[in-house]
Amino acid sequence: MLSKILIANRGEIAVRVIRACRELGISTVAVYSELDRDALHVRLADEAYALGGQTAAESYLNTEAILDAIERSGADGVHPGYGFFSENADFARAIIESGTTAWIGPPPEAIEVMGDKISARLAAEKVGVAGVPGTTELITDPEQVRTFGAEFGWPVAIKAAYGGGGRGMKVVRAPEEVEDALESAKREALAYFGRDECYMERYLTWPRHIEMQVIADTHGNCVWVGERDCSAQRRHQKLIEESPAPAFPDEIRQAMGAAAVKVAEGCNYVNAGTVEFLYQDGEFFYLEMNTRLQVEHPVTELVSGIDLVREQIRVASGEPLSFTQADLDLRGHAIECRINAEDSTNGAFSPSPGRITALSIPQGFGVRWDGGYEAGDEISQYYDNLVGKLVVWGSDRETARLRMLRALSELQVSGIATTTPAHVAILSHDDFAAAEHSTKWVEENLDLSGPAPAPLAPTEEGEEPEPKVRRDVDVEVNGRRFSVAVFVPESQMAAPAAAGAGKKGGGRPKRSSSGSGGGAADAGKVTVPMQGTIVKVLVEEGQEVELGQSVVVLEAMKMENNIPAEKAGTVTAVKVAVGDSVGSGDIVIEID
Ligand code: MV4
């Protein structure tokens, strides 16, 4: 068994891995950016090493700095979590080639095969697992799309061959739309992924997103551990996941499980992985395989009783899985809500970074909280906005649904806005209760414009956590973090200078409501409130716009944000195009 694991990640997933290690008697090594010097994962780990930098690219994606921390700590295993390096074949190779450290992840070759859509589709086809009817050839001529539509029916989906996450997918409803759709799909594919190749599939109009958890060891064992229904999503951000999928016949589950195992075995998979499918009208179609542990893995853990991180560590140590397919007994129903630092009122889901001033975590029967922060911690705009995952188990779906609503009513987060009101709205909706939702349901059917069901907005008014007389001070010596206890009279205790936003004292910092922009500044110049990438331009020069109308969509903090016009008038200039990087305060549109 491994004895010391470095977690090349932050936030809740780093905490999740640390907890599994502790139960296995494995010591833990955290790494941290400048902004995370005091983060929860650093506080919990046995050792911690500075990576330097603030942005992800400067810190958690800094290969040299992480390899250096591995060497200095003597870690014999590296867990990548999700995101960051988790699906980076080059990083995996660098770890494996070091010869001394185990990579707690899949073989780099499997990451590569599944990394591009076309080879992933071919890999599934090779083992007899069907994707949505379509082609594995690249589209070279719009005529191919018209012929395909005539044969398989409209609509047709045009997808980026080297893309992912729904970026650049275009839906073509009729032959006369083909030319424009293909052009814009290629343009977006080039902007997002640097390559413009596209392929096509029949477009499913009301699918559910169902994914199958698999895990494989190095002894030839590969099992499926049940499915998750992740249909409750908005703009490709999952909001709620559950297992088992509701109204999902067992023979289909068995067939999907067998298909997922075939796909995994077909690419010599080792480690935990997820095979994604679309499910519509009793049929399922392979979509892609995620070669990592996923955010929503806890719902599978609650219905199976399997600790997936523990199994990952066993497998990376060269041990066999601790259970077989026949041992598995999936019981009851689990639901997860991703509690994000976003303001979901008015359906905007705008990022809400800042300091958590108070946090009350739900408790009681069947409730699990996988958090990345505690009260006093700061959610930085530089990383993703997941505050924590609230997961419940119940003997059946309705019990779990009502338990989640109860648990959400206990969750109190002060200082930042969270998506809790949206979760309450989804879970209490008749369509969700009846499991009549699909991947389009949140966007098309859920009305979030009304008042939030339970206002969990900041209560604050300068309520700092109680100052302690004993103080643990973290010092960094030569890039390594140490904790030192000091005892200071309360009156002399200076609060640490928090990096970033949170000013202290009587200043009473108030978040400006996001999106309202510069106020006194020139309302005709629409600026973006944070750094990010332009993913949509919704207006053109000469167009009339209304006050508050969305003019561009900005991707920041891994989510899409509508940027509104700050006055009504005519668009006189469009300063950005899809794919452009912008910084906070940059002018994107001018209105006269
Ligand atoms: C589709 C589809 C319907 N028909 N393909 C979007 C993300 C990407 N991984 C695949 N996606 C889709 N592909 C065909 N042929 C609908 C989606 C889709 C979707 C899929 C999974 C989860 C959420 C989704 C939201 C919108 C569209």
**DSSP string covering 177-217:** GHHHHHHHHHHHHHHHHS---EEEEEPPSS-EEEEEEEEE-
State CA 241 to chain mean position distance: 12
Burial of 152 (0-12, 13-18, 19+ CB in 10 A): middle
Please answer whether residues 246 and 285 qualify as being in contact, where contact means their C-beta atoms are separated by less than 8 angstroms: no
Is the pLDDT score of 217 beyond 90?
A: yes
Q: What is the mean pLDDT of residues 395-402?
A: 98
Residue position matching structure tokens 């980026």: 160
The CATH architecture one would assign to domain 133-202 is: 2-Layer Sandwich (3.30)
Three-state SS for 331?
A: coil
Closest residue (by CA) to atom 20 of ligand 1?
A: 209
**For residue 313, what pLDDT is reported?**
98
Is the pLDDT score of 457 beyond 50?
A: no
Is the pLDDT score of 146 beyond 90?
A: yes
Closest residue (by CA) to atom 10 of ligand 1?
A: 166
**For residue 489, what pLDDT is reported?**
59
The first and second tokens of residue 127, run together, are 């083992």
Give residue-wise pLDDT tens across range 466-493.
455 676 777 788 788 877 776 665 665 5
Rounded to the nearest angstrom, the distance between the alpha carbon of 76 and the centre of ligand 1 is 39
Is the pLDDT score of 519 beyond 60?
A: no
Nearest atom, ligand 1, residue 288 CA: 9
Pocket test for ligand 1, best of 439, 442, 444 (most atoms within 8 A of CB): 439
Closest residue (by CA) to atom 6 of ligand 1?
A: 166
The first and second tokens of residue 157, run together, are 């989906």
Ordered by start, the domain boundaries in the chain are 4-104, 133-202, 208-444, 525-591
Query: Which stretches of 78-175 are DSSP H helices?
Result: 89-98, 108-115, 117-126, 142-152
Strands 525-527, 77-79: pairing is unpaired
Which of 512, 496, 485 is closest to 584 using CA atoms?
Answer: 512
Pocket test for ligand 1, best of 87, 228, 278 (most atoms within 8 A of CB): 278
Which of 390, 453, 396 is closest to 425 using CA atoms?
Answer: 453
Is the pLDDT score of 125 beyond 50?
A: yes
Rounded to the nearest angstrom, the distance between the alpha carbon of 236 and the centre of ligand 1 is 8
Nearest atom, ligand 1, residue 201 CA: 15
Please answer whether residues 110 and 268 qualify as being in contact, where contact means their C-beta atoms are separated by less than 8 angstroms: yes
More confident residue, 346 or 417: 417
Hey, which CATH number is domain 525-591, 3.40.50.150, 3.40.190.10, 3.40.630.30, 2.40.50.100?
A: 2.40.50.100
Give residue-wise pLDDT tens across range 182-195.
999 999 888 888 89
Which of 306, 295, 292 is closest to 264 using CA atoms?
Answer: 292
Residue 132 beta carbon below 6 angstroms from any ligand 1 atom: yes
- Helices 308-316, 11-24: inter-axial angle, 10-degree rounding: 70
Residue 209 beta carbon below 6 angstroms from any ligand 1 atom: yes
The Cα angle at residue 375 between residues 370 and 377, in degrees rounded to 5: 90
Rounded to the nearest angstrom, the distance between the alpha carbon of 300 and the centre of ligand 1 is 22
Residue position matching structure tokens 């349901």: 441
Residue 166 beta carbon below 6 angstroms from any ligand 1 atom: yes
Give residue-wise pLDDT tens across range 416-453.
999 999 999 999 999 999 999 999 999 999 988 765 55
Please answer whether residues 414 and 392 qualify as being in contact, where contact means their C-beta atoms are separated by less than 8 angstroms: no
Residue 524 beta carbon below 6 angstroms from any ligand 1 atom: no
Report the half-sphere exposure of 25 (CA within 13 A, side-chain side). Answer: 1
Closest residue (by CA) to atom 13 of ligand 1?
A: 166
* Global pTM value: 0.81
Rounded to the nearest angstrom, the distance between the alpha carbon of 230 and the centre of ligand 1 is 11
Nearest atom, ligand 1, residue 134 CA: 15
What residue ranges in 319-417 does DSSP mark as E strands? 333-340, 342-343, 350-351, 354-355, 358-360, 367-371, 378-379, 386-394, 412-414
**For residue 503, what pLDDT is reported?**
33
The first and second tokens of residue 251, run together, are 């023979």
Rounded to the nearest angstrom, the distance between the alpha carbon of 361 and the centre of ligand 1 is 34
Burial of 328 (0-12, 13-18, 19+ CB in 10 A): middle
Residue 201 beta carbon below 6 angstroms from any ligand 1 atom: yes
Give residue-wise pLDDT tens across range 45-95.
999 999 999 999 999 999 999 999 999 999 999 999 999 999 999 999 999
Is the pLDDT score of 514 beyond 80?
A: no
Is the pLDDT score of 206 beyond 50?
A: yes
**For residue 458, what pLDDT is reported?**
38
528 pLDDT band, cuts 50/70/90, is confident
Residue 439 beta carbon below 6 angstroms from any ligand 1 atom: yes
The answer to whether the Cα torsion of 285, 260, 296, 533 is positive or negative is negative
Please answer whether residues 210 and 279 qualify as being in contact, where contact means their C-beta atoms are separated by less than 8 angstroms: yes
Pocket test for ligand 1, best of 236, 240, 290, 445 (most atoms within 8 A of CB): 236
Work out the mean pLDDT of the chain and round it to a whole number: 89
Hey, which CATH number is domain 208-444, 3.30.1490.190, 3.40.50.620, 3.90.1150.10, 3.30.470.20?
A: 3.30.470.20
Please answer whether residues 542 and 502 qualify as being in contact, where contact means their C-beta atoms are separated by less than 8 angstroms: no
Please answer whether residues 185 and 206 qualify as being in contact, where contact means their C-beta atoms are separated by less than 8 angstroms: no
Please give the Cα distance from 306 to 297 (Å, whole number). 10
Please give the Cα distance from 17 to 20 (Å, whole number). 5
Please give the Cα distance from 291 to 452 (Å, whole number). 37
**For residue 521, what pLDDT is reported?**
53
Burial of 538 (0-12, 13-18, 19+ CB in 10 A): middle
Residue 203 beta carbon below 6 angstroms from any ligand 1 atom: yes
Percent of the chain with pLDDT over 70: 89
Is the pLDDT score of 346 beyond 90?
A: no
Backbone angles phi, psi at 192, to 5 degrees: -85, -45
Pocket test for ligand 1, best of 209, 235, 279 (most atoms within 8 A of CB): 209
Please give the Cα distance from 404 to 335 (Å, whole number). 7
Nearest atom, ligand 1, residue 203 CA: 4
* Topology agreement, domain 4-104 and domain 133-202: no
Pocket test for ligand 1, best of 198, 200, 205, 287 (most atoms within 8 A of CB): 287
Residue position matching structure tokens 């660098």: 94
Class in CATH terms, 4-104: alpha beta
Please answer whether residues 341 and 387 qualify as being in contact, where contact means their C-beta atoms are separated by less than 8 angstroms: yes
Is the pLDDT score of 298 beyond 80?
A: yes
Give residue-wise pLDDT tens across range 350-375.
999 999 999 999 999 999 999 999 99
Q: What stretch of H or E contains 72?
A: helix 63-73
Which of 33, 36, 80 is closest to 57 using CA atoms?
Answer: 33
Nearest atom, ligand 1, residue 233 CA: 23
Residue 232 beta carbon below 6 angstroms from any ligand 1 atom: no
Furthest CA-CA distance within the chain: 80
Task: Specify the DSSP class assigned to residue 519.
Answer: T
Burial code of 407-435, b = ≥16 C-beta within 10 A, e = fewer? bbeebebbbbbbbbbbbbbbbebeebbeb
Burial of 239 (0-12, 13-18, 19+ CB in 10 A): buried
